[in-house]
Amino acid sequence: MKFIVSSTYLLKQLQVLGGVINNSNTLPILDNFLFELKDSKLTVSASDLETTMSSTLDVESDEDGSIALPARLLLDTLKTFPEQPLTFVVEDNNTVEISSNHGKYALAYANGNEFPKAVVLDNPSTTTIAGDILATAISKTIFAAGNDDLRPVMSGVFFQFSTEGLTFVATDAHKLVKYTREDVTADQVAEFIMPKKPLNLLKGILATSDDVITIEYNDSNAKFTFENSVLVCRLIDGKYPNYEAVIPKENPNKLTIDRTQFLNSVRRVSIFSNKTTHQIRLKIAGAELNISAEDIDYSNKAEERLTCDYQGDDMQIGFNSRFLTEMLNNLNADQVQLEMSLPNRAGILTPIDGLDEGEQVTMLVMPVMLNS
């Protein structure tokens, strides 16, 4: 088995696939990339058993075969090469010889048949979506997903497809984000929970992509096909909480404010907040928003006044500044609106501008109890 491939082209593909490989694997074979060669097409795969990703590269070859090569060693070697053709030749003594312009490098390989096969989806449902739309949906929601191993359903992003639009939801019980696209629809209704790891991989690859992605899914797995790559992952098993029930419908108190000004103010004031609760206090009266924080243990306190547009009763409400900062960071609007009803009910943050046609973002943040 022999093939010739560009060093930078191979490195670029392998760096993406390397994101799949865990630092510590139970099966030693998973520390390898699987190379499968067939008619001048080289398919390289990486897997952690839950997620398998493969990319197909054009190479010069007229042979077939499959081998598994150590991922870390190969990546470290390729990073040091300037752009040049590399020749890979499988030798009889169980090593692969890589020849560059200046030298030769031999590394041991494992049998490609030992590598776990990617799951084949039985009669899946299919939806297509533009790459940049999916990347936006992931980055707008994934930060709000939880990390609690005891509640695995909340550690992923909930995909809800229907003939009216697509909805993506993530929550960790303190904050919730619902991202909706009405300009993209699916042929049939479907719901599944995607784990974070494959979503982070997709987000990185698709951020600059104009490609259309085909998503196939059944009850247990999902498959994303785009350009020359395929990603198959196991879905999180379980029923997603009824998120609509926690979004308060009646919110008479509405605060409209410049996002950057609000974000910077929250950031500054939160430096003086208690290091465990990160609590900040919003006091709204008339057209003035007063943001304050206090750390009684260290006698630190801060207070800022901002002008805002406010309709509703005067009120005081406490929030965890980290959640508020994360949410404001993830909006690209100039103006945002914070809707509230009572100091013990969730606040709803929405962008007023900066949205595409058919795009909607609703962010919900739970309040924290204020010490009077």
CB 196 within 8 A of CB 155: yes
Domain boundary assignment for the chain: 2-114, 125-244, 247-368
CB 365 within 8 A of CB 174: yes
Under DSSP, the state recorded for 105 is E
CB 184 within 8 A of CB 130: yes
pLDDT digits (tens, 9 = 90+) for 195-243: 999 999 999 899 877 889 999 999 999 999 998 999 999 999 999 999 9
CB 166 within 8 A of CB 180: yes
Q: Which two tokens stand for residue 162?
A: 């229907």
Place of tokens 């520390």: 31
Strand partners, 361: 179
Residue 264 neighbours by CB under 8 Å, 6+ apart: none
CB 199 within 8 A of CB 138: yes
CA distance 364 to 323: 10
CB 216 within 8 A of CB 222: yes
pLDDT digits (tens, 9 = 90+) for 122-151: 989 999 999 999 999 999 999 999 998 889
pLDDT digits (tens, 9 = 90+) for 1-55: 999 999 999 999 999 999 999 999 999 999 999 999 998 999 999 999 999 999 9
Query: What are φ and ψ of residue 154, in 5° steps?
Result: -90, 0
Average pLDDT, the chain: 95
Place of tokens 């943050």: 349
| Topology match between the domains 2-114 and 125-244 | yes
Residue type at 44 in one-letter notation: V
Closest-CA residue to 261 (of 313, 309, 297): 309
pLDDT digits (tens, 9 = 90+) for 271-306: 999 999 999 999 999 999 999 999 999 999 999 999
Query: What are φ and ψ of residue 269, in 5° steps?
Result: -65, -35
Share of the chain above pLDDT 70, in %: 100
Under DSSP, the state recorded for 73 is H
Q: Which CATH number does 125-244 carry?
A: 3.10.150.10
The CATH fold of domain 247-368: DNA Polymerase III; Chain A, domain 2 (3.10.150)
CB 118 within 8 A of CB 53: no
CA distance 219 to 300: 52
Residue type at 16 in one-letter notation: V
Segment 59-87 shows an average pLDDT of 96
Task: Please report the beta strands in 241-299, taking only residues with DSSP state E, as ranges in sequence order.
Answer: 253-258, 279-285, 288-295
Q: pLDDT confidence of 372, banded at 50, 70, 90?
A: low
Q: Which CATH number does 2-114 carry?
A: 3.10.150.10
